[in-house]
Amino acid sequence: MTLLGAAVDYIAQNPRLFREALVTHLLLSGSALLVAAAVGIPLGAAVTRRPRAAFVALNGVNVARTIPSLAVLAFMLPFLGIGFLPSFLALAILGLPPIVTNTWVGIRQVDPDAVESARGMGMTGSQVLRRVELPIAVPVILAGVRTSAVQIVAGATLAAFIGGGGLGDFITTGIGMMQVELLLVGAIPVTALAIATELGFSLLERALTPRGMRES
Amino acid sequence: MIRLRRLTKVFAGQAGAAVDDLTLDVAAGETCVLIGPSGCGKTTTMRMINRLIEPTRGTIEVDGRDVAKADPVELRRRIGYVIQQVGLFPHMTIADNVATVPRLLGWTPARLEARVDEMLALVGLDPASFRRRYPRELSGGQRQRVGVARALAGDPPVMLMDEPFGAVDPITRARLQNELLKILAAVGKTVVFVTHDVDEAIRMGDRIAILRDGRLVQHGTPVEILVRPADPFVEEFVGADRALKRLGLVAVPDVMAPGAGGAAKGSPTVSLHTSALGALPALLAAPDGAVTVVDAAGRPVGRLSFADVQRVLTDESPG
């Protein structure tokens, strides 16, 4: 309790520092997620009609998934140095696998009869994708985006190691200086952020699921 | 309307041809049923007509035009397509499902909306209560109706129907068959209808094409096929009860002896609107082997005897 009080005190005494770290953290996570989705959804959709490309892409991102988050960040260091950009890129890569995989799975599990009748009625390939496959796959794709978002928000903590800033700064400093209250200034908001992300995307998922497909 | 010429399809990695040198004509406004055991090539044949499958050899003409030279997307928008599992779009309302092809054709919203209501009414679904519902809120039979409405919405001259009633219960199936017959009589489409159910083929088809191992075994009217099966395979395929099926195609007024007189008191009666098959139970129960045929108001209009029915079966001239 006193630790918690100390952490709150620290925030109250350094509002600007805390706000800056929070904003950086959100900016880093948000932009990384946006890019991961902007790349991952088209990539996942593109490979659904090309089995060989799907094999390469899915295994590629799955191998990438096994690399620890910290290692991904560390790999950026020799190429892009330190700061926001390498952290952002590393996080975007970290967020890619669940989005690509879920997009592919979501489209693959669309009722083949719906696709067959869409083609049979004269939809072009891209019309089938945009009007039938993607809307039906939305819940599964969003579940992937949610997993990715939580991973990125949590992973952004590690950006502090390569100078990316964010709430991780408090954690690394706290550990370095053996100041547990400082560590909590980073750890508690990050946890809250991750939980809020999870809940927020669950709500979004429900809201964006087409009405005819909602579980009552 | 539809002309298949020496149509052949060999799938990669398969020994025999799925469709083997098939030549078949479907006249405008006619319903042609493709039937045969599974793997006979009936669905493959149908899917080549709208180019979901490309033939290995042979040509297909629809309305005088070679489909191989048409743009497949353009072609399919002018050919209605109904499949067994319907394939309704679960994320769209019934109205949006039905509007699929008109929307692809770029119809104005007003025309589109009117067309949706017209089609729903045509298949016996009240537009006001169904327009805004979703496929999963409907029964299997209702979904099939929507499937038919959707296929008809773009007013295509040709309809392809692949076992459209294969997934619904027998009672619903019989009702949907009758309604489709009425709809087709009203809208005048050229239909290719795939089924493996002989009774359905007899009921729905103006002509039936029986396929076996990708080859056309017999092509003719239901009566021709029942009366003169081309070979033992067809004979077995149409069933041992083909004599009864034949009677099912004969209307009582066509074989009865007309006239109000001569009805014995207390003689059993059958309706004017039944088939010879439908009259059979009453005939079997009649003490003197004859029944009185009555109209809707119950007035006697003729007599039907065993001999009349027998004449149908011994008369070998089909039709």
Q: Is the pLDDT of residue B217 over 50?
A: yes
Confidence of residue A70 (pLDDT cuts 50, 70, 90): confident
d(CA B47, CA B54): 8
Using one digit for the tens of pLDDT, what is the confidence trace for B51-71?
999 999 999 999 999 999 999
Residue A38: C-alpha distances to residues A72, A100, A143, B270 (Å): 20, 10, 15, 72
Percent of chain A at pLDDT exceeding 70: 99
Residue B145: count of CB within 10 angstroms of its CB: 26
Using one digit for the tens of pLDDT, what is the confidence trace for A21-56?
999 999 999 999 999 999 999 999 999 888 888 888
Residue B92 has its nearest CB partner, among A119, A122, A212, at: A212
Q: Is the pLDDT of residue A192 over 60?
A: yes
Using one digit for the tens of pLDDT, what is the confidence trace for A128-166?
999 999 999 999 999 999 999 999 999 999 888 888 888
Highest mean pLDDT among A174-183, B114-123, B269-278, B283-292: B114-123
Interface of A with B in 86-115 (CB under 8 A): 111, 113-115
Q: What is the pLDDT of residue A1?
A: 58
Where are chain A's structural domains? 3-210
In this structure, what is the dihedral angle of CA atoms B230, B235, B237, B239, given to the nearest 10 degrees? 150
Using one digit for the tens of pLDDT, what is the confidence trace for B257-312?
887 765 566 778 888 888 888 888 888 888 888 888 888 888 888 888 888 888 88
Q: Which residues from chain A sit within 8 angstroms of residue B89, using beta carbons?
A: 114, 118, 131-132, 136
Q: Over range B81-91, report the average pLDDT.
A: 92
Q: Does A153 touch chain B (CB under 8 A)?
A: no
d(CA B182, CA B171): 17
Q: Which is more confident, A120 or B280?
A: A120
Asked if residues B53 and B76 have their Cβ atoms less than 8 Å apart, the reply is: no
Domain A3-210 CATH (choose: 3.20.20.70, 1.10.3720.10, 3.40.50.720, 1.10.1740.10) = 1.10.3720.10
Q: Which is more confident, B295 or A216?
A: B295
Highest mean pLDDT among A86-100, B88-102, B240-254: B88-102
Using one digit for the tens of pLDDT, what is the confidence trace for B155-168?
999 999 999 988 88
Q: What is the pLDDT of residue B319?
A: 46
Q: Residue A65 burial (CB < 10 Å; 0-12/13-18/19+)?
A: middle
Interface test with B, best of A107, A111, A117, A129 (most B CBs within 10 A): A117
Residue B91 has its nearest CB partner, among A116, A123, A135, at: A135
Place of tokens 């992973």: A155
Q: What is the pLDDT of residue A29?
A: 95
For residue B213, the distance in angstroms to the closest alpha carbon of chain A comes to 25
Q: Is the pLDDT of residue B10 over 50?
A: yes
Percent of chain A at pLDDT exceeding 90: 54
The strand pairing partners of B33, in sequence order, are B193, B208
pTM value is: 0.82
Q: Does B167 touch chain A (CB under 8 A)?
A: no
Residues 6+ apart with CB under 8 A from A182: A7, A10, A170, A173, A174
- Say if the ipTM goes beyond 0.85: no
Instruction: Indicate the average pLDDT of chain A.
Output: 90
Residue B81 has its nearest CB partner, among A121, A135, A136, at: A121
Residues 6+ apart with CB under 8 A from B57: B6, B7, B8
Highest mean pLDDT among A16-20, B250-254, B289-293: A16-20
Asked if residues B116 and B127 have their Cβ atoms less than 8 Å apart, the reply is: yes
Q: Render B9-74 in DSSP notation, one character per residue.
A: E--TT-SS-SEEEEEEEE-TT-EEEEE-STTSSHHHHHHHHTTSS--SEEEEEETTEEGGGS-HHH
Q: What is the pLDDT of residue B16?
A: 86
Cα B272 → chain centroid? 24
Confidence of residue B318 (pLDDT cuts 50, 70, 90): low
- Taking alpha carbons only, the member of A45, A205, A185 closest to residue A125 is A45
